């Protein structure tokens, strides 16, 4: 009688990921897409939980928003040609990762209410779905992420209760919590997005390639196993 010895399955390393970002940040789309691909490639090596943390690129933006080209020139001093070249580079990076950046006329808006909705979505277990849908609404469909109807529509699209979403948007609910989280991450040194923090210890910034995220995560796994 023979015996078959089965090796025990490798343990997945738990990985907490705080993804600090804004819904109007194109590099945040690139970073999230690359991170998702890296995690998919790592498979059972990690057991990741992503928490989307709020950051406003333009907290003082008025309700009517601002033309993107005008905003880029005022904030960064880039000429229309430089801005166009930058958007084309981002469009190409997005396309490589399966995301469509619409190059039509776009405005910059205040995103605070979107962050309030994302805070609620995490409590409902649908935060990542809402985040990705908000990216698509803004960058692909050129919708206004400060408009309450747009936000309620997107919430409903990902399976959240529309009536509850509308009630949150019409009130100041979760405003204090979002402000607190924004200040927390600023106090921790976050000044640009995306900033991706692993296990509250290791930080990667910018829209890094898939390989960069995979390499960083493997290094974290190795250090975690050795500690």
Q: What is the pLDDT of residues 165-204, one digit of tens each?
A: 999 999 999 999 999 999 999 999 999 999 999 999 999 9
Question: Is a pLDDT exceeding 80 seen at residue 9?
Answer: no
Superfamily of domain 13-58+110-226: Glutaredoxin (3.40.30.10)
Q: Could you tell me the pLDDT band of residue 224, with boundaries at 50, 70 and 90?
A: confident
Question: Is a pLDDT exceeding 50 seen at residue 7?
Answer: no
Give dist(CA 222, CA 21) in Å, integer. Answer: 27
Query: Which whole number is the average pLDDT over 130-143?
Result: 98
- Of 203, 219, 212, 221, the C-alpha closest to 20 is 203
Phi-psi region of 150 (alpha: psi -120 to 50; beta: other; left: phi over 0): alpha
Higher pLDDT, 175 or 12: 175
pTM: 0.93
Tens of pLDDT, residues 29-39: 999 999 999 99
58-61 own/partner pairs: CB under 8 Å, 24+ apart: 58/24, 58/108, 58/110, 58/111, 59/110, 59/112, 61/108, 61/109, 61/110
Tens of pLDDT, residues 66-108: 999 899 999 889 888 998 999 999 999 999 999 999 988 889 9
CA atoms within 13 A on the CB side of 66: 16
Tokens of 135: 């990216």
Query: Which whole number is the average pLDDT over 42-66?
Result: 96
Q: Could you tell me the pLDDT band of residue 8, with boundaries at 50, 70 and 90?
A: very low
- Residues 68/107, Cβ–Cβ less than 8 Å: yes
pLDDT at 65: 96
pLDDT at 10: 56
Token look-up 């991450």 returns: 185
Query: Which whole number is the average pLDDT over 117-122?
Result: 98
List the domain boundaries for the chain.
Answer: 13-58+110-226
pLDDT at 126: 98
pLDDT at 105: 84
**Mean residue pLDDT across the chain:** 94
Tens of pLDDT, residues 139-153: 999 999 999 999 999
């Amino acid at each position: 009688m023979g015996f078959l010895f089965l090796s025990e399955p490798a343990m997945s390393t738990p990985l907490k990921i705080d993804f600090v970002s804004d819904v109007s940040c194109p590099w945040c789309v690139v970073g999230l897409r690359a991170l998702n691909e890296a995690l998919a490639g790592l498979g059972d090596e990690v057991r990741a939980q992503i928490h989307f943390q709020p950051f406003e690129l333009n907290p003082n933006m008025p309700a009517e928003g601002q033309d993107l080209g005008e905003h880029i020139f005022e904030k960064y001093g880039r000429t229309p040609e430089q801005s166009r070249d930058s958007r084309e580079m981002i469009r190409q990076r997005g396309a490589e990762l399966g995301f469509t950046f619409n190059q039509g006329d776009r405005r910059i808006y205040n995103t605070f209410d979107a962050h309030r909705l994302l805070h609620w979505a995490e409590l409902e277990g649908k935060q990542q779905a809402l985040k990705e849908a908000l990216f698509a609404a803004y960058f692909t469909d050129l919708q206004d992420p400060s408009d309450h109807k747009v936000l309620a529509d997107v919430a409903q699209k990902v399976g959240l209760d529309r009536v509850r979403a509308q009630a949150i948007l019409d009130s100041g609910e979760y405003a204090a919590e979002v402000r607190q989280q924004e200040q927390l991450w600023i106090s921790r040194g976050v000044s640009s997005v995306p900033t991706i923090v692993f296990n509250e210890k290791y930080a990667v910034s910018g829209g890094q390639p898939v390989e960069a995220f995979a390499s960083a995560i493997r290094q974290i796994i190795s250090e975690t196993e050795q500690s």
